[in-house]
Structure 1
Amino acid sequence: MKLTEEQRQAVQAAGSVAVTAGAGTGKTELLSQRYLWHLQQASESVSPLEIVVLTFTEKAAAELRSRIRKAVGNKWPDRSDWLAEVEAAQISTFHSLCARICREHPAAAGQPADFTILDDLAGKLWQQTVLTAAMQELDPSCFDVMDYSEWRSLLETLLDDPVRSQALLAVESEQWREVLAQAQRDRLQQIQQSSDWQAAIEDLSGASWREADALSDQIQQILAWSDTLFDPANSNWQATYDEFIKLKLTQAGSAKNWGSADTAKLLRTQCKVLRDRLRDEESLLSLRPNEADDWNRDQRSRIYEAFETVLKSIDARKRQDRCLDFNDLERGAVRALESEAVRSHYQQRWRYCFVDEFQDTNPTQSQILQALWDPQHLILTLVGDEKQSIYGFRGAATQVFRNWQQQIQQHQGHIVTLSQSFRTHQTLLETINQVFEPVLDPYQPLRSDRQPPHPLPPIQQLVIEPEEKDSLEQARIQEATAIAQQIQTWIQQPLLVWDKPSNQHRPIAYGDIAILCRRRAPLETVYGEVLNQAGIPVLVNGGGSLLETPVGYDLQALLEFLVYPSNDLALATLLRSPAFGLSDAQLYQRAQQGKGWWSHRQERPDPAFAAAIKILEGLLRSRFLESPLRLVQQFDRATGYSAVLASLPQAQRLLADWQALLTFLREQPQAHDLELLLRYWKQLQQAEVVLPRPVLEAGNAVTLMTLHGSKGLEWPVVIIPDLTAKPRSQAETVLFDTELGVALRQPYVKEQAAAYQFFKYRKQQAEDAETRRLLYVGFTRARDLLLLTSPKSAEARSPLDLLAPGLEQAAIQPLDPNSGTEIAVTATLPTADAPLFWQSTAAIAPQYSELSVSAFADYFRCPALFHFRYTQGHPGAIDGEGAGTSDRPLQLGLLVHRALELDLRQPEALKPYCAAEDQDLIPQALQLASCFATEPVYSAVREQAQQREVTLHLELSSGLVLKGRADLVGADWVLDFKTDQQPQPENYQLQLWAYAAALNRPQAAIAWLRHNQLDWIEIEFIPDQAERAAVQLAQGDFDPQPGLCCQYCSYRSICEATSKN
């Protein structure tokens, strides 16, 4: 790729450079070429190990490493040493860099040398647990100010970024007063210099009348107020302001006295313009310190003390547990880099440093970079775009990039702006420039050499004007219908778009279109549903949590029901899910009976519920026997759940989410216990942990995505809907300001502290600024055409309102909402009788990174058995004799293990672990358990036993992790209890080897409780076989291994290998 002149300036800059890279201007190519330039200029004297490249996600770091590896390999194919060093170089996230600093200098970082890193998920759950204990150390008087939940919410927010929080709480408590006074003066100056104010004052100043009247008096008063209000020497300007905004406008002014009725009307209008202009700024200009500010000042110190108490307690627990989360890595790096020796170490190691997406840098990361930077020895390349800074909620601050640009200039560095877009055609870019020039400040326009593929206006607007009686949801449905009509019109015309790979124009396809929305909720529930009904294929992609998907809610309901069958809400959720498809009307009729649904299921049998009851009863019988994953797979097979998903709109999305949830269940350490798993699930929800949904290829379908999720992507046609949705307003107890610190909302007072109101005002300003930048990101995703839609006219602070100055300047006229192809959209209801069949509809091939030891033992014995049981979730069947084999032997084994684990000796103690229909097994289970406690054959292992039920994990060289629990562990052996009818040690060799290897024990034994027999198992030859089996599993090898075990296999009637033999 040939570099533009702007790119060449950045690539060949002699010193540090800060690059503003607009959307689609080729920043990734610039980064790789700048990397090559450093290697080329320094030649033999530089190594890739001396070049640091930083970004913000593991995915972005991997892509940058790949791009750099390819560029170095293409330019210097004989430099295998450089290619090897690129693999080892620090091309990573900021957090990985911080982890390196903490590991290499643990003492300076104040961290243990052998710490483990908690990822986002584990870190949030760990913090939730320890925060509860830490809050018990708070002074009880704290709760006079805020209740427990408010304190907890505040502390969670502060703990999200402890470095920033400590800095905020240390800000001089009265600094806000000076900033408020200056902000008010600045705003008055802006008002005075605005064109509408100047025009109104000019009209009023030039007015003349024959005789004084109410209008002339009002004009003279306004002109006097204006002089007083804008007088810099007037310290009492707010008194004038208060009078001005309370002005009652007169309707006086006769045509005779003023020359004409139009003149009088114009002057009255200008009086109103001036008063209303000041009223619009009341949230800022009316603020003045009050008594509540004294209370606020006192509470800030209390918050500081409470935070320090909690942080100290949590840090002590982390040292004890030897674990760090991502925030601790940043804190540790900041602390380590305060040491001159540590700074010198890295300044000598690294000569060049790149930071991509610099606009997303937070103040703590900036502090780390500042400590590493020695302008004489480290050359920086910072690439970002302030206009695309959209992660303020994560701590990113636009001011950080500005400050670094100034620093680089002060040290004779270079500032380069990339303005040529390789994505969008010139006509669309010109219109985007017109829209955002008055909306974003500062704004750097973009340009392009590509011409448009059609004469249509590049930005189109569609505003739906609903009836007054229509709700917002009804208006959104009308908006979505209009979008569907417009899409069908484009497809039928057809609209021409630019094909990037071939560099030619071609007819549009559904896959060329993306609908980007600020919020995720209406994407699936409104726009996706309406487009599906119109016959338009759609795919919801990017962002969101698996726990908050339709299939996530269904799975949670299943877990809830299996743990608590009396939970009517969970049962109702299951019954109306795709698994059973019962209608709301049927559920309502059942609810009218006024009794618990499950406990009274047999009193008045309902045929509509019969199939569901049979399936759920079967699952309840197995809940103490099978793992949660197996229960879910059996539920899927019995109900045809995934098969029904495959027939629904957005089937690809639903099935991908379902398979991702199954993978999640498979990998959890709690996966052996239903109740533990459900508790863990709820902890994830409480901590607001996001389990990422799998990203799918849209193919020939319209992509539905959030604006945040669209960053870095592009489509020929982009639609941005719901532009009149206002931000949610809430009365927050505590407000944070990156410059001014913290302010509290005082309960039970009429007027809040001016500090709190000022912080709220600044927060709204920052949110509005970020919304404007987010809209810019959305606009610049389009290559050829952009459609803006809204379900009603603009309201204050809505995106459409924020865009209004730019849309007016670009002269964008709304389309006729009825101009598209007419389509019929009707509501769809779930069917009353969902099919009860099973088929394999996996959207994603199963990948096993973790397995239970027993599951891997099944694979070791026969891959086909494993595939039936764990991949497909098939319950098994014996030659058509019924649904599966009897589970009573397995239930007996489970009861024996429970009795031994918990030392239970009485029937009543064992009943809670047994389904009602299997309680006749309890005496036999207790008898078998007592054998181990009394029989002489077991006396040696009884006496030497050190631990019971030891949790273990074993990582094979292939990366597969095996998890399990050993029944009994001695100093040099492990032992497993078995209740089989016939001893068959060969079936358990791998299981016993895995237990022994994981616990570093050389011997393994089985206690056959039915036979009073103790066998020591040969395990020496197992490791190589296990490693080979793990590789085969990773390759997806599920070929059967026929043998004697086939005659006992519950899958023999459906296995091809058995039928052939």
Structure 2
Amino acid sequence: MEETGGGRVMSMTWTKDQQKVIDTRNTNLLVSAAAGSGKTAVLVERILSLITDAEHPVDVDRLLITTFTKAAAGEMRERISRALAERLKEDPGNEWLQRQEALVHRAQITTIHGFCLYVIRNYFHTIGLNPNFRIADEGEMKLLKQDTAKEIIDESHRSGDPAFRKFADSYGSGSRGNGLEELVISLYEYAIASPQPEQWLRNCVSAYEMPEDGTWEDFSGNEAVLEGLRTAAGDVLSVIREAKNVAQMPGGPAAYCEALLSDEQQLTELAECVSVERFRERLEGISWARLPSRRAKVMADADEELCQNVMDLRNRMKEAVKGLGKQYFQISDEEQFAQLRETAGNVQVYVQLALAFMERLEEKKRKKNILDFADQEHLALKILTREEDGKLLPSETADVFAEYFEEIMVDEYQDSNLVQEAILESISRSRLGRENRFMVGDVKQSIYRFRQAEPGLFLEKYAHYGEKDGGIRVDLHQNFRSRSTVLDAVNEAFYRIMRPELGGIDYDEDAALKAGASYPEEDHMTAELLLLQKEEWEQLQRECRWTKAEAEAHMIAGKIRYLFREGKVTEDGQLRPVRPGDIAILLRTMSGWSETFVRVLQEEGIPASAQSREGYFQTMEVETLLAYLRVLDNPTQEIPLAASLHGLLGGFSSEELAKIRASSPENGFYAACRQYREQGEEAELRDRLISFFEQVDRYREQASFLSVHELLWRILMESGYLIQVRALPGGIQRQANVEMLLAKAQDYEKISYHGLFHFVRYIERMQKYQMDFGEADISGKSGEAVQIMSIHHSKGLEYPVIFAAGMGKSFNRQDGREKMIFHSRWGVGLDYVDTEARMKCPTLMKQLIRRQNLMDGLGEELRVLYVAMTRAKEKLILTGMASEKLIAAGRKGERLLFSDLMGAECPLAWILPALNPEEQESSVKISIVSMEQVIREAIREQMAEQLSRDELERRLLYGMRDQESEDRIESLLNWTYAWKDRTAAKQKYTVTELKKQRLQEEMEYGEELYPEEEIVPLVPQFIEKTEEKTGAARGTVYHTVMEWLDVVHMAKVFEHGDRENIIREELDRLCAAGKLSEEDRRAVREQDLVRFCKTDLLKQLAAAESQGKLWREQPFVIGLPGNEADGSDPEETVLIQGIIDAFFEEEDGVVILDYKTDRVHAAKELKERYQAQLDYYARAVAQTTGKTVKEKLIYSFSLGKTIFL
């Protein structure tokens, strides 16, 4: 297939290998199709060639075509339909093509689960299944599993079984052995990834049943342990051989060779050991020969640098050899085998719990007549196979399918699991001697290990398929997607980091990507690696207070702006400037990163969009609706009621809610609402409250006969809620989230429970167990924006410009630290626990599984990196933060040793050593970006953005006028209303508005004392002494801290002088309690609070708090004559509202306190600025409490002192 102009197909001339894939018949065929190799086009062409074969044409519905996703299946069907339509245009009278065009719509072009459902719905009777089943919602199944596991564990506790009690004591948490439910569910979910889960579970037990006099030969993982040790020894052997080569170089320390040869011989014997016992014996018997002294005569001509190089390599080898024994040889073999035997009882209990759980869960699903995701595969397998002597053999139903389907075609075969493989193999014709399986995929892109994908299935066939051995393998390595600069970068890196032990295959010339697309010449397309230095970030972090993610996002934002100015991409064969939609930022994990990247890019004026996989229930628009549904379910729930009244559906302000609450302080909030509806002072507020509850009553009545989704839809339509949320920032996402809740409600109606009550409980339990839907997917609706997505989500997609970000982020190795770990081949790994001695250590099996999982996990990380890098069409940019040590150790351009790959903490630990910018032909430009430069550019962009807004405002106000328009507007406005003053008078003011009004009056007679607050740009202290947050934002954070500060505790601590870290601990407490975000936490200067806590004011606050006479953040509303408020008619009453930071009562009166973070040079400035504000506060307190205000205080954080007004 020839392409040009960056992916424009100019002609359908297939390559030799592509044509072979299209034409090969009557054999199993494995196609290893690298990224961008046109596999979908080739697959469609093969299907068409089978349909239109001149000698043996096949009906399209006699082909089983499975894809990984429904979207891919739909696209495949559409492509085939279009191709048939095109051929019918050329030959409109062809009846065979007409028949295929009709059949394609009923053909089995589907996902594997779609095919499984087809099997179940047509052959349910063969396994006694009720045909009226439904597919359970994911959330419903999670809750059902939780309930079932709890039942099993509770029953086991009540049974008093000593074996269970020992298991609970060993692996549970706390005295009751809590947490066992999750352990049981985890084992069950791993087991059902096996075609025979019960047998897999039984094998878990037998793996621990070592005989009393057992040896390594009796351990089921013996061969795997030996293979791992020999691989590691061979890796070390390559190091000493490299040292020997250096010693033999001209000028090298040839006198070292004797010792190096001894090293080599010992390591060779180690790598060739045929048993673990022999390996241990050899390892413990190693002795290292001494190297000649540097001062010896034989060393006189040796180059100093080469000598040091050899010694460094030898020391590296010695350290690696020490590590060989740490995993399996820390204790004697006998002790290890004894620990396995003693742990077998716990494994037996664990397995029995999982089997009981499995049986109980199946029973509950049968009663509800539901199937879950795994059931679809397992029931199809049950229909298609029969068990005989522990083996699965094809059933009669499978024979029917095998006879019917001429070919079984699997796309993305590298992501198949063992159950799917068993299903497809059962209906193949292999047992009949007529191979008819077609499998296409790329093991380098197998990234679904967490879904139990088994790349070993692909690798086994990849290794064994040949022209005469069970099938044929064809490799497609020509890439029709990317520029050669992208492919060169991918190849250079993966030549040196991907190998069979880690990643699955040896990345050699056969595996390398070959350029198949042509692009216009363009400079600046070389792949790049942009690095931030960790030490510089740490040094500046106290000043700029950016997280690592924020720092990297700002660096990327700067690069994107550069691309907007200078970059070009190809469209229809022509170069054009880069646009936001050309760019995708790929992340290994979205949590905690995607939100940061979106925010930072948007702050810097770059449109950006990301879909979150969590936080759905915390979004304002969903939270508001759920609160309202809870009110409809039970109006007496105070928090949902307050949230509903205050939210978009109620529209009541905080002050109005405070009035309602204050009307009946002795009763609950619902009772206060009821009382205000009957006796409230303000008619307008009373009427709105009556209207709100009438609406609630009406919806509650309708809930008795409407389904949940119908009720929710009616609420949305009658309230205009969708329009309201669409008008908010991020409106597209918000609307999609609301629509998603509507869809979930509709899905819920398919569950056996019905009604509002059960739906509310369902959602509450989802939240209790921290289950989340993730925000709605709005990809394709977000307009022209930079797309931020996970690497997994990007698979199958392509963008002109790719940023593979977060390359310095550590790999997640949490799996190895879990109490129980699992492996498809080796079963379950448990710790050996001595409950009497309160001692535990990993068993031999757990160590084996941990190492194997580490290898599998790191292999997947390699493949994830490959997927990320191959998404780029024209420009690839890798970014990350690395330590100076990592940067210095890398950039050698060497093939990494297995131990280097296994020891890597992050992708950069692979990438940096694999690249060498010193090489003349290096394909990746490495740049260390200055943090200070990134900060300065961010500041400049923020300031430029503000200037742009100011200019737009100026133009709107002054620059879009003409004289005619001015005259016409002036004539329309000449007429004045006689009572204009009355109509213009405000009925309610905030204290801030009145303060500004008074200041403006003062300004008429003097200079401007209090200018409008300016936007303060993000400027670190080493550039300019200003804060990260604007003055207003920083003030809000400080007020939050003072609202929740434990003044009593602080006073006690500071009184005794024990002040070390107490402020930090208090701020951490507020963060943990959800009062402060981490971002807000960084805006607080701890020293400011230390100074406050040293004042007498803290003691006053603590004393008042101890007596229950301290009020913080108190809202108020008072009425004043118009002339006292705004100079209007004294007969008019004007409402004044505000919030008092704090006031407290002492014996001789009330003290009012206001916190200020304004930057001032003297107390006089604050007195003049806020005198009016505190006067109103004093009047409010006096009016509402009836007590005398004796003092008005301001505490200035800037000055660090209390100011008396």
TM tier, smaller: 0.5 to 0.7
Residue 169 of structure 1 pairs with residue 201 of structure 2: yes
Residue 539 of structure 1 pairs with residue 597 of structure 2: no
> Across the two proteins, how many residue pairs are aligned to each other?
816
Per-residue deviation, 1:360: 1.1
Q: Which amino acid aligns with 1:738?
A: S
Match for residue 269 of structure 1 among 312, 317, 327: 312
Match for residue 438 of structure 1 among 496, 502, 515: 496
Aligned to 1:658: 738
Q: Which amino acid aligns with 2:850?
A: K
Aligned to 2:523: 455
Per-residue deviation, 1:184: 1.0
Aligned to 1:741: 827
- Any idea what the Cα deviations from partners look like across 1:229-281, whole Å, max 9, x if unmatched? 55737946547757989x99999976999658768755653443223333566
Q: What secondary structure is seen at the aligned counterpart in 1 of 2:429?
A: coil
Per-residue deviation, 1:25: 1.4
Instruction: Give me the whole-angstrom Cα distance separating, in 1, the residues matched to 2:362 and 2:719.
Output: 49
- Any idea what the Cα deviations from partners look like across 1:321-375, whole Å, max 9, x if unmatched? 4433232232222233225422321121111111111111001111111111213
Aligned to 1:949: none
Do the aligned partners of residues 89 and 181 (structure 1) sit closer, same or farther apart at CA in structure 2, a change above 3 Å counting? same
Residue 157 of structure 1 pairs with residue 202 of structure 2: no
Instruction: Give me the whole-angstrom Cα distance separating, in 2, the residues matched to 1:526 and 1:582.
Output: 32
Q: What secondary structure is seen at the aligned counterpart in 1 of 2:482?
A: coil
Instruction: Give me the whole-angstrom Cα distance separating, in 2, the residues matched to 1:269 and 1:597.
Output: 75
- Any idea what the Cα deviations from partners look like across 1:1030-1057, whole Å, max 9, x if unmatched? xxxxxxxxxxxxxxxxxxxxxxxxxxxx
- Any idea what the Cα deviations from partners look like across 1:880-932, whole Å, max 9, x if unmatched? xxxxxxxxxxxxxxxxxxxxxxxxxxxxxxxxxxxxxxxxxxxxxxxxxxxxx
Q: What are the equivalent positions in structure 2 for 1:678-689 lying under 5 Å apart?
A: 678-685=760-767, 686=769, 688=771
Do the aligned partners of residues 397 and 584 (structure 1) sit closer, same or farther apart at CA in structure 2, a change above 3 Å counting? farther
Do the aligned partners of residues 123 and 278 (structure 1) sit closer, same or farther apart at CA in structure 2, a change above 3 Å counting? same
- Any idea what the Cα deviations from partners look like across 1:857-898, whole Å, max 9, x if unmatched? xxxxxxxxxxxxxxxxxxxxxxxxxxxxxxxxxxxxxxxxxx
Do the aligned partners of residues 196 and 614 (structure 1) sit closer, same or farther apart at CA in structure 2, a change above 3 Å counting? farther
Do the aligned partners of residues 229 and 446 (structure 1) sit closer, same or farther apart at CA in structure 2, a change above 3 Å counting? closer
Aligned to 1:385: 442
Aligned to 1:19: 31
C-alpha contact (below 8 Å) 1:439/1:805 kept by paired residues: no
Residue 232 of structure 1 pairs with residue 244 of structure 2: no
- Any idea what the Cα deviations from partners look like across 1:948-978, whole Å, max 9, x if unmatched? xxxxxxxxxxxxxxxxxxxxxxxxxxxxxxx
Instruction: Give me the whole-angstrom Cα distance separating, in 2, the residues matched to 1:273 and 1:576.
Output: 66
Do the aligned partners of residues 398 and 617 (structure 1) sit closer, same or farther apart at CA in structure 2, a change above 3 Å counting? same
Per-residue deviation, 1:541: 3.7
Aligned to 1:96: 114
Instruction: Give me the whole-angstrom Cα distance separating, in 2, the residues matched to 1:404 and 1:310.
Output: 36
Instruction: Give me the whole-angstrom Cα distance separating, in 2, the residues matched to 1:537 and 1:412.
Output: 53
Aligned to 1:470: 541
Residue 514 of structure 1 pairs with residue 584 of structure 2: yes
Residue 706 of structure 1 pairs with residue 706 of structure 2: no
Do the aligned partners of residues 548 and 717 (structure 1) sit closer, same or farther apart at CA in structure 2, a change above 3 Å counting? farther
Do the aligned partners of residues 650 and 800 (structure 1) sit closer, same or farther apart at CA in structure 2, a change above 3 Å counting? farther
Residue 775 of structure 1 pairs with residue 857 of structure 2: no
Per-residue deviation, 1:587: 13
Q: What secondary structure is seen at the aligned counterpart in 1 of 2:497?
A: coil
What's the TM-score, normalizing by structure 1? Answer: 0.67
Residue 482 of structure 1 pairs with residue 555 of structure 2: yes
Match for residue 185 of structure 1 among 210, 230, 252: 230
Do the aligned partners of residues 571 and 242 (structure 1) sit closer, same or farther apart at CA in structure 2, a change above 3 Å counting? farther
Aligned to 1:830: none
Instruction: Give me the whole-angstrom Cα distance separating, in 1, the residues matched to 2:646 and 2:882.
Output: 34
Q: What secondary structure is seen at the aligned counterpart in 1 of 2:914?
A: helix
Aligned to 2:575: 505
Per-residue deviation, 1:399: 0.5
Instruction: Give me the whole-angstrom Cα distance separating, in 2, the residues matched to 1:135 and 1:703.
Output: 45
C-alpha contact (below 8 Å) 1:357/1:384 kept by paired residues: yes
Q: What secondary structure is seen at the aligned counterpart in 1 of 2:514?
A: coil
- Any idea what the Cα deviations from partners look like across 1:47-104, whole Å, max 9, x if unmatched? 2221111123222222211222222232245432222221122112212222233344
Q: What are the equivalent positions in structure 2 for 1:52-201 lying under 5 Å apart?
A: 52-76=64-88, 77=92, 78=94, 79-106=97-124, 108-109=126-127, 111-118=129-136, 120-133=138-151, 138=156, 140=161, 141-146=163-168, 147=172, 150-160=179-189, 162=192, 164=194, 165-171=197-203, 172-173=206-207, 174-194=219-239, 198-199=243-244
Aligned to 2:487: 429
Instruction: Give me the whole-angstrom Cα distance separating, in 2, the residues matched to 1:556 and 1:132.
Output: 27
Q: What secondary structure is seen at the aligned counterpart in 2 of 1:797?
A: coil
C-alpha contact (below 8 Å) 1:386/1:401 kept by paired residues: yes
Per-residue deviation, 1:774: 1.0
Aligned to 2:1178: none
Q: What secondary structure is seen at the aligned counterpart in 1 of 2:841?
A: coil
RMSD after superposition: 4.8
Residue 823 of structure 1 pairs with residue 938 of structure 2: yes
Q: What secondary structure is seen at the aligned counterpart in 2 of 1:87?
A: coil
Instruction: Give me the whole-angstrom Cα distance separating, in 2, the residues matched to 1:300 and 1:330.
Output: 27
C-alpha contact (below 8 Å) 1:542/1:695 kept by paired residues: no
Aligned to 1:983: none
| Structure with the greater alpha carbon radius of gyration | 2
Per-residue deviation, 1:119: 5.1
Do the aligned partners of residues 699 and 525 (structure 1) sit closer, same or farther apart at CA in structure 2, a change above 3 Å counting? closer
Aligned to 1:966: none
Aligned to 1:834: none
C-alpha contact (below 8 Å) 2:616/2:772 kept by paired residues: no
Do the aligned partners of residues 404 and 224 (structure 1) sit closer, same or farther apart at CA in structure 2, a change above 3 Å counting? closer
Per-residue deviation, 1:121: 4.7
Q: What secondary structure is seen at the aligned counterpart in 2 of 1:373?
A: coil
What is the identity percentage for the equivalent residue pairs of Structure 1 and Structure 2?
A: 22
Aligned to 1:361: 416
Aligned to 1:298: 345
Per-residue deviation, 1:479: 1.4
Q: Which amino acid aligns with 1:151?
A: L
Do the aligned partners of residues 263 and 660 (structure 1) sit closer, same or farther apart at CA in structure 2, a change above 3 Å counting? closer
Do the aligned partners of residues 129 and 265 (structure 1) sit closer, same or farther apart at CA in structure 2, a change above 3 Å counting? closer
Aligned to 1:960: none
Per-residue deviation, 1:705: 0.9
Residue 414 of structure 1 pairs with residue 472 of structure 2: yes
Do the aligned partners of residues 534 and 93 (structure 1) sit closer, same or farther apart at CA in structure 2, a change above 3 Å counting? same
C-alpha contact (below 8 Å) 2:570/2:576 kept by paired residues: yes
Instruction: Give me the whole-angstrom Cα distance separating, in 2, the residues matched to 1:765 and 1:106.
Output: 41
C-alpha contact (below 8 Å) 2:253/2:307 kept by paired residues: no
Q: What secondary structure is seen at the aligned counterpart in 1 of 2:937?
A: coil
What's the TM-score, normalizing by structure 2? Answer: 0.60
- Any idea what the Cα deviations from partners look like across 1:118-160, whole Å, max 9, x if unmatched? 3545544444444444556656443531436543223323443
Aligned to 1:694: 777
Q: What secondary structure is seen at the aligned counterpart in 1 of 2:513?
A: coil
Q: Which stretch shifts more, 308-317 or 807-816?
A: 807-816
Do the aligned partners of residues 223 and 341 (structure 1) sit closer, same or farther apart at CA in structure 2, a change above 3 Å counting? closer
Do the aligned partners of residues 305 and 198 (structure 1) sit closer, same or farther apart at CA in structure 2, a change above 3 Å counting? farther
Instruction: Give me the whole-angstrom Cα distance separating, in 2, the residues matched to 1:560 and 1:542.
Output: 25
Match for residue 841 of structure 2 among 751, 758, 762: 751
Do the aligned partners of residues 573 and 533 (structure 1) sit closer, same or farther apart at CA in structure 2, a change above 3 Å counting? farther
Aligned to 2:16: 5
Per-residue deviation, 1:35: 0.7
Do the aligned partners of residues 402 and 129 (structure 1) sit closer, same or farther apart at CA in structure 2, a change above 3 Å counting? same
Match for residue 324 of structure 1 among 371, 389, 402: 371
Aligned to 2:1086: none
Aligned to 1:921: none
Aligned to 1:886: none
Unaligned runs of 5+ in 2: 1-11, 208-218, 386-393, 500-504, 887-902, 917-921, 944-1205
C-alpha contact (below 8 Å) 1:531/1:537 kept by paired residues: yes
Instruction: Give me the whole-angstrom Cα distance separating, in 2, the residues matched to 1:464 and 1:575.
Output: 48
C-alpha contact (below 8 Å) 1:184/1:285 kept by paired residues: no
